[in-house]
Amino acid sequence: MPLHLRSIAELRRGLRAREFSSVELTRTFLDRIADLDSRFNAFITVPREGALASAREADGRLAAGTAGALEGIPLAHKDIFCTRGVRTSCGSRMLDSFVAPYDATVVERLAGAGAVMLGKTNMDEFAMGSSNETSYYGPVRNPWDTEAVPGGSSGGSAAAVAARLAPAATGTDTGGSIRQPAALCGVSGIKPTYGAVSRYGMIAFASSLDQAGPMAPSAEDLAWLLASMQGFDERDSTSLERAVPDYPALLGQDVAGLRIGLPREYFGEGLDAGVARAVEEAVRVYERLGARIIDIELPNSNLAVPTYYVVAPAEASSNLARFDGVRYGYRCESPRDLMDMYRRSRGEGFGPEVKRRIMIGTYVLSSGYYDAYYLKAQKLRRLISADFARAFKEVDVIIGPTTPETAFRLGAKQDPLSMYLSDVYTIAVNLAGLPGMSIPCGFAGRSPVGLQLIGDYFTEARLLALAHRYQLETDWHLRMPEGCA
């Protein structure tokens, strides 16, 4: 089998058996990026020489018998993760020339496990978007249909994995930014429990929601990646002090007897019929495997998107206040005075969607409005979270569609609100801080459909095993876009 079609487990075996070297493997993917990415625009920066140098070091460790869990395996990082010595743009003009002076913990851990960084993937500016169209570097195109969006904000990572320009990639998910692009590009992705993976060095959007996770063709691949990414980090004040499960070893957990909840609210008005069919078929697969299917209610689901669009912009307006044109990032030409420098540097450095969200956040936090907006939203967040807590007394896992529709046309959602509703099924999971994932479960027409699996806190191992079991029964995750096989 060609190297670019092998799973992480197969690549591990091949590297350890000296069937091929990390340099060969890395070069294979660098060449694929060079040959194919002009179609997709999935990468912002590809430090080819640095990748080959890391691969040579990995080959040294493989030869010396000191290989880490992911030794020699190439990966792509979303351009939201700081990478020492490599431009970290966050998809923004503001950071177009920003070369990070340190590595994010996620980057450091994956490098520590021996992974080789291929490059930095395109994304919606500051992770604000669901289509990758807000990137300063231009939109990413969906490998299944280059006239369609890949989803966002981790659209570059999703497209890179879908086109096998990388065996796997990192992403971040504040309201669906791993799961939604995974669904639209036909790949697998997991957003772990809030606090499981360190946020240190991951450029902040909404700190009480942001969480990093891996994206790859299969749940088995995700298990390998997550095992290396996760873990306590004293440099992140919300990092959890918990042992990291051995995810690859736990993939064999049985599905029989597991109680699966189907939230009525996720199958109602607004759900595309083709998406509904694919998801219902996936439910029948689990039923055949011995799972019990139970109808449940998440009655406050309709409040998730409005609540999110208070909480997330409020936190973003505070986090993005650091971009002042003084210490790093963009500064305007010839400022008249300090205020002019702040306002023009930010006005010119940020794109329209980022400015819109900063203004929403500034407004809802401004004097006299706090109780009506932010406090109200925090109370609703409690209700939304309580819905899940009640549901998890009756069921072990919740499944449903990841998105209401498949990949839409570039430019189709000009109105911000219609774009925001792309995340209608994913946002509540972030508000509650729960783990959630998306795996491919078929097609509606030619477009991939994502199945969302939502677990209780710290049940990533069960989610991955459940997804893996499905992927042993089906081959949706192995389907390839035309011209990429």
Partner 1 sequence: MSLEKIDVERIAQLARLEIAPADMAAYAQSLSDILAFVASMNEVGTDDVEPMAHPLDVAQRLREDVVTETNRREEFQAIAPRVEAGLYLVPRVIE
Asked if 177 is an active-site residue, the reply is yes
Name the catalytic one among 78, 120, 191, 413: 78
* Strand 397-401, strand 292-296: pairing: unpaired
Number of residues interacting with partner 1: please give it, by CB under 8 A: 74
Nearest-approach distance from CB 179 to partner 1, in angstroms: 16
Q: Which among 89, 177, 188, 239 is annotated as catalytic?
A: 177
Find the binding residues for partner 1 in span 221-240 (CB under 8 A). 234, 237-238, 240
| Strand ordering across the sheet containing 447-455 | 43-45, 116-121, 74-78, 169-173, 211-216, 188-191, 436-444, 447-455, 397-401, 259-263, 292-296
- Return the residues of window 135-194 that contact partner 1 according to CB under 8 A: 193-194
Site string for partner 1, 385-424 (x = CB under 8 A): x-----------------------------xxx--x----
- Cα–Cα distances in Å, from 288 out to 246, 285, 443, 468, 484? 28, 5, 21, 15, 33
Give strand ranges (E) for 122-221. Answer: 169-173, 188-191, 211-216
Cα dihedral angle (340, 346, 349, 352), rounded to 10 degrees?
-120
Position among 93, 259, 277, 356 found at the interface with partner 1 (CB under 8 A): 356
Output 45 or 378, the one with its CB closest to partner 1: 378
Specify whether 78 is catalytic.
yes
Least separation in angstroms between residue 329's CB and partner 1 is 8
- Binder of partner 1 out of 69, 362, 412, 484 (CB under 8 A): 362
Task: Identify whether 318 is preceded by a cis peptide bond (ω within 30 of 0).
Answer: no
Which of 197, 275, 310, 467 touches partner 1 (CB under 8 A)? 310
Stretch that binds partner 1, among 115-123, 160-168, 281-289, 362-370 (CB under 8 A): 362-370
Note the helical H segments in 41-133. Answer: 48-64, 105-112
- Report, in Å, the least distance between residue 136 CB and partner 1: 16
Beta-carbon contacts of residue 267 (< 8 Å; ≥ 6 apart) = 276, 279, 400, 401
The closest of 252, 250, 242, 279 to 451, measured between CA atoms, is 279
Choice from 144, 350, 470, 476 touching partner 1 (CB under 8 A): 350
Residue ranges in 314-343 that form contacts with partner 1 under rule CB under 8 A: 317, 321, 324-331, 335-343
Name which of residues 364 to 383 contact partner 1 (CB under 8 A). 366, 373, 375-383
Min CB(289)–partner 1 separation in Å: 31
Q: For residue 153, indicate whether it is catalytic.
A: yes
CA gap 254, 249 in Å, rounded:
13
Give me the least distance between CB of 444 and partner 1, in Å please: 27
Put residue 324 in one of left, alpha, beta given phi > 0 → left and psi -120 to 50 → alpha. alpha
Nearest distance, CB of residue 378 and partner 1, angstroms: 4
Residue from 153, 157, 228, 239 carrying the catalytic annotation? 153
Nearest-CA neighbor of 199 among 96, 80, 41?
80
What are the helix and strand counts (H, E) for the chain? Answer: 15, 11
Q: Is 472 in the site for partner 1 (CB under 8 A)?
A: no
Give the residue numbers annotated as catalytic, written as ranges: 78, 153, 177
